[in-house]
Amino acid sequence: MNHESLHCGNTAPSTACRICDGGVAHRRVDVSDRTYFQCRRCEGTFVASEDLPTSDVERSQYELHENDASDPNYRRFVGRLVAPLIERLAAGAEGLDYGCGEGPAGAAMLIEAGFNVTLYDPFFVPDEAALERDYDFVFCCETAEHFHDPGREVDKMERLLRRGGILAIMTGLEYPQVNFATWHYRRDPTHVTFYRPVTMERIAQDRGWEVDFPGKNTILFRKQY
């Protein structure tokens, strides 16, 4: 791996990676408004613990979102993840919308397509019983960037999946052409974890999963066992 591409100074403080298993993350020096660490192993980036938003800040920010499940534009956006997921699901598959928010368009579209979907959101649908069973798929749309402890969250979603189950994620990926310092996606105060395509590949490799990128910012993992 070319460590120069990670923009990490040799004297920067380091911390254990919160995304992958065993990685060491160093402070990024290409941005200064918050402290960010980037892992040399998975190339993922996350905000320092002291800069993570409080739950009150998160809720107030989420309540500003205008995600209407009946809005055709929003449904078209979410459909970028729904469509490739549906292509891979068996009839009657059961799933969980993990981090559904107030306007679960993805769940609505999947239900309309004949699938059974349970909702869970720590702020808006805090149904802990939903986390005590397993599913054929977990739908995680525009949620992974909010994870304070992404490795733990992925482990949790893995436990929710049956063998052969699919974890469908949509999140803004840090592609090579992205200038992290000016990237609009990181300016949301609740966006605290950022992934590159290789980060997703590492997540899959660490767990023995298959991974596919059906489109921009969309990732489909398949649990093998």
Amino acid 64: pLDDT: 80
Give me the residues of the chain with pLDDT under 70, please: 1-12
Give residue-wise pLDDT tens across range 55-86: 999 999 888 877 778 889 999 999 999 999 99
| Structural domains in the chain plus CATH codes | 53-222 (3.40.50.150)
Q: Which two tokens stand for residue 45?
A: 């980036």
- 8 torsion bin: left (phi>0), alpha (psi -120 to 50), beta (else): beta
* pLDDT value of residue 154: 99
pLDDT of 38: 98
pLDDT at position 102: 86
Do the strands 14-16 and 24-27 form a parallel or antiparallel pair, or are they unpaired?
antiparallel
Determine the Cα–Cα distance for residues 120 and 131; give it in Å rounded to an integer.
Answer: 8
Give the bridge partners for 93, in sequence order. none
CA nearest neighbour of 139 among 209, 202, 80, 58 = 80
Long-range contacts of 99-103 (CB under 8 A, 24+ apart): 99/140, 99/141, 99/142, 99/143, 99/146, 100/124, 100/125, 101/62, 101/65, 101/67, 102/62, 102/63, 102/65, 102/67, 103/65, 103/66, 103/67, 103/68, 103/69, 103/71, 103/74
**Whole-number Å distance between alpha carbons of 115 and 96:** 10
pLDDT score at 12: 55
Q: What is the b/e burial string over 35-64, where b = at least 16 CB atoms within 10 angstroms of the residue's CB?
A: bbbbbebbbbbbbeeeebbeeeebeeebee
Question: Which secondary structure element, helix H or strand E, spans residue 218, and what is its range?
Answer: strand 218-222
Contact, 216 vs 32, CB < 8 A? no
